[in-house]
Amino acid sequence: MKDAETATIELFRERRLVFLRVLMRRLGNLEEAEEVLQEAFINFDRAAKKETISNPDGYLMKIALNLAVDRIRKDASRRRREDSWFDANSAGRIGAQYIAAAPQQDQALIAKQEMAQLAACLEELSENVRGAFILHKMKGLPHSETAEILGLSQSTVEKHIMKAMRHVTANMAED
């Protein structure tokens, strides 16, 4: 058992940066890449103690990539939940009537007023928070593209969007 542990430590020392680069490309975030790599090494170590692994590099890479895919799916699922929560909690206040194909004149006036109210509400936010909200919620860009356009991390963009959503929801509900 000691040999398996020594081999795992050596593999970690020798190949850590290679695996970390691959995971960073996949996840786009150093912290997440390090967390996934740590978890992959723990899983690898458990497996190495139970059985002989003929291709340690390949086995560890497979574990790491599977964990990265799981994390990406979990993040996407979380974002979908946040988006649906926002849509469900703000559709009436932000103007579901904008979706209507041919709104009546009074509905068009209400929609115009609500859009002006939304614009005024967004003006109260910082440029980056407002930009993240507009690019993601109104233009439909994914968090990654929004982050790239604004020159921010994806995590920061997600936080800005949530801040804007809370602000818009609270302010549109008041009126």
Give tens-digit pLDDT for 101-139.
444 566 666 777 777 788 888 889 999 999 998 888 888
Task: Count CB-CB contacts under 10 A for residue 132.
Answer: 28
For domain 2-73, give its CATH number from 1.10.1900, 1.10.3470, 1.10.1740, 1.20.1550: 1.10.1740
Structure tokens at 107: 């509905």
C-alpha distances (whole Å) from 168 to each of 92, 122, 159 are 12, 7, 14
Q: What pTM was estimated for this model as a whole?
A: 0.45
Domain ranges of the chain: 2-73, 95-174
Domains 2-73 and 95-174 share a fold: no
For the domain spanning 95-174, the CATH number is 1.10.10.10
Would you state the pLDDT for residue 89? 63
| Spatial distance between the Cα atoms of 51 and 40, rounded to a whole number of angstroms | 16
